[in-house]
């Protein structure tokens, strides 16, 4: 009896020891394979270094391998929700004149511009993934012609003047290319492309038909839009990422010519009939662009304010002086803002932001921005929208 009891006790002791030893073995051979969160892990990946490799591929696409130390312009800002710095409270930091470092200042810390120094970054071949393989078009007036010329030259890109119906048909004669013919700007490093298309406002009557050598046909705006969009297809780049619309200057001229032909008394503002006509045509234009380019982001370029002629009258001896009145410009801008909001498109208020700048500082003539102003104000503005946009309304 005593021996049996003693044997049972020793058996229990042996089993207990086996359990303890087994636990120790499991700890050493199994437990160490799970690293606690508090233990720092060392990565064997080397620190990122800037290295851009660009190879040209078919179909106008550039394949890029980019390793770059994250910067606020390419990583932090593209990770935030979509925002438009130009729709935030802000201003251009102009001093007594337009200066080389002037930029737009957004008062919203979480919505800062990405493209403030974009011209220098492009010239320096910086890593800018937000520009790779992007396309934007301008549908508008002579401001866009000056704009694309400055954009292309300042970024060391290549500009080609082409015929109206086919971008593969380069203008190569000794004659001066008509101002209303397209310009195509392409940058080989980033493979971005910019094209401008010229329409004579919402012309339906052929107002400029007597000046065919200067303003080639077609004259009517629907025909010109159709011609331009068909020509764009010859680039084989798919839908553009962004399309800017800006036709206010030619609308100011068109309404003025029609009023003069009708012997109307010149007034400082548009009447309701004229504004309704402008609104209806703009709605139709945006609808057409949506149908033809369903993946494209549409942005209206607000009209800036031209210089005013002396507002004085002396019978019929003096030319009409209210063609570019600030009141008329404001009316068209307000109509455009209303239309773009209702149609869920976008509006770049560059006119309001530059309205009170000295005209001699930002304009090279009565209506056109100077080269310096274009490079510091207009060029970064359009790149801001382009950099923040991917196709199919996916906004960075």
Question: Partners of 52 in the beta sheet?
Answer: 66
Measured CA to CA, the distance from residue 365 to residue 345 in angstroms comes to 31
Which is it for the CA torsion 343, 349, 351, 356, positive or negative? positive
Domain boundaries, the chain: 83-387
> In the prediction, which pLDDT does 374 show?
96
Per-residue buried b or exposed e for 140-165, using 16+ beta carbons within 10 Å of the residue's own CB: bbebbbbbbbbbbebbebeebebbbe
Rounded alpha-carbon distances, angstroms, from residue 68 to 47, 255, 321: 10, 52, 55
Could you say which DSSP state residue 211 is in?
G
**Burial of 389 by CB count in 10 Å (0-12 exposed, 13-18 middle, 19+ buried)?**
buried
> In the prediction, which pLDDT does 23 show?
52
Measured CA to CA, the distance from residue 183 to residue 142 in angstroms comes to 12
Asked whether 386 and 192 are in contact (CB, 8 A), the reply is yes
**Burial of 226 by CB count in 10 Å (0-12 exposed, 13-18 middle, 19+ buried)?**
middle
pLDDT tens digit sequence for 184-193: 999 999 999 9
**CB-side neighbour CA atoms (13 Å) of 10:** 6
Measured CA to CA, the distance from residue 378 to residue 148 in angstroms comes to 10
Pair of tokens at residue 236: 């084989």
> In the prediction, which pLDDT does 240 show?
97
**Burial of 328 by CB count in 10 Å (0-12 exposed, 13-18 middle, 19+ buried)?**
buried
Pair of tokens at residue 274: 């004229």
Asked whether 367 and 324 are in contact (CB, 8 A), the reply is yes
Q: What is the CATH number of domain 83-387?
A: 3.40.50.1110
Asked whether 107 and 392 are in contact (CB, 8 A), the reply is no
Asked whether 134 and 151 are in contact (CB, 8 A), the reply is no
pLDDT tens digit sequence for 199-226: 999 999 999 888 887 889 999 999 999 9
Asked whether 105 and 90 are in contact (CB, 8 A), the reply is yes
**Burial of 191 by CB count in 10 Å (0-12 exposed, 13-18 middle, 19+ buried)?**
buried
Measured CA to CA, the distance from residue 239 to residue 180 in angstroms comes to 22
> In the prediction, which pLDDT does 36 show?
37
Measured CA to CA, the distance from residue 337 to residue 347 in angstroms comes to 6
Measured CA to CA, the distance from residue 6 to residue 293 in angstroms comes to 93
> In the prediction, which pLDDT does 10 show?
46
Please write down the HEC assignment for all residues of 13-69.
Answer: HHHHHHHHHHHHHHHHHCHHHCCCCCCCCCCCCCCCCCEEEEEEECCCEEEEEEECC
> In the prediction, which pLDDT does 174 show?
78
* β-strand pairing of 135-140 with 90-92: unpaired
* β-strand pairing of 346-348 with 297-301: parallel
For the chain, which residues score pLDDT lower than 50? 1-4, 6, 10, 15, 24-60, 62-81, 311-318, 395-396
């Amino acid at each position: 009896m005593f021996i049996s009891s003693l044997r049972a006790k020793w058996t229990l002791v042996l089993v207990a020891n086996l359990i303890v030893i087994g636990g120790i073995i499991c700890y050493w051979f199994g437990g160490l394979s799970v690293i606690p969160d508090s233990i720092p892990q060392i990565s064997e990946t080397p620190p990122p270094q800037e290295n851009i490799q660009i190879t040209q591929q078919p179909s106008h696409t550039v394949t890029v391998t980019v390793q770059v130390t994250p910067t606020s312009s390419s990583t932090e800002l593209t990770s935030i929700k979509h925002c438009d710095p130009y729709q935030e409270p802000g201003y251009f930091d102009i001093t007594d004149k337009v200066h080389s470092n002037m930029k737009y200042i957004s008062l919203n810390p979480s919505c800062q511009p990405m493209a403030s120094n974009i011209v220098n970054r492009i010239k320096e071949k910086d890593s800018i993934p937000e520009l790779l393989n992007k396309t934007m078009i301008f549908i508008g007036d002579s401001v866009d012609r000056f704009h694309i010329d400055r954009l292309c030259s300042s970024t060391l890109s290549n500009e080609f003047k082409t015929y109206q119906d086919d971008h593969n048909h380069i203008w190569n004669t000794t004659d001066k290319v008509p101002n209303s013919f397209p310009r195509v700007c392409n940058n080989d490093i980033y493979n971005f492309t910019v094209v401008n298309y010229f329409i004579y406002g919402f012309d339906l009557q052929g107002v400029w038909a007597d000046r065919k050598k200067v303003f080639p046909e077609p004259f009517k705006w629907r025909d010109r839009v159709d011609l331009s969009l068909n020509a764009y297809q010859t680039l084989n780049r798919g839908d553009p990422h962004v399309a800017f619309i800006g036709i206010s200057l030619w609308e100011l001229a068109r309404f003025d010519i029609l009023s003069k032909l009708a012997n109307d008394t010149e007034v400082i503002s548009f009447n309701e009939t004229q504004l309704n006509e402008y609104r209806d045509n703009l709605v139709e234009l945006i609808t057409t662009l949506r149908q033809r380019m369903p993946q494209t982001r549409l942005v209206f370029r607000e009209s800036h304010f031209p210089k005013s002629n002396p507002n004085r009258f002396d019978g019929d001896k003096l030319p009409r002086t209210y063609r570019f009145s600030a009141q008329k410009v404001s009316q068209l801008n307000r109509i455009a803002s209303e239309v773009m909001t209702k149609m869920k498109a976008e509006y770049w208020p560059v006119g309001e932001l530059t309205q009170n700048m000295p005209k001699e500082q930002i304009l090279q003539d009565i209506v056109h921005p100077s080269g310096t102003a274009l490079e510091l104000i207009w060029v970064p503005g359009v790149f801001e929208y382009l950099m923040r946009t991917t196709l199919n309304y996916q906004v960075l």
